[in-house]
Amino acid sequence: MKNRLEEIRKQRGIRQEELAEAMGVSRQTISSLENGRYNPSVILAIKLARYFETKVEDIFIYEEAQDERK
C-alpha cells in the first residue's frame, strides 16, 4: 500500500514528532508509515484522516495485485 502521509504532513508544516504525539504512536511508527514499511491499523488510518480533515483514501492508496483479483 502506498501513501501520501509525508507529503500531506510536510504541506501542513507538521513534524513527525508532533504527528506521532497527536496519534499516540512513536515517531518511528510515523517514519515507517511514510516509508511504506508499515501499514496502519484501521483505527490509526481513520485517526490520521480525521487529523488532516480528509478521507482515508486521500492518504492511503491501495494497489491490488493482479493475482489477488482472481
Secondary structure of 40-67 as H, E, C letters: CCHHHHHHHHHHCCCCHHHHEECCCCHH
Pick the CATH number of 2-59 from 1.10.357.10, 3.40.50.1970, 3.40.980.10, 1.10.260.40: 1.10.260.40
> What is the structure's pLDDT at 70?
53
> What is the structure's pLDDT at 62?
87
> What is the structure's pLDDT at 10?
98
C-alpha cell at 35: 516509508
What pLDDT digit, counting tens, does each position of 12-54 carry?
Answer: 999 999 999 999 999 999 999 999 999 999 999 999 999 999 9
pLDDT-derived band of residue 63, with 50, 70 and 90 as boundaries? confident
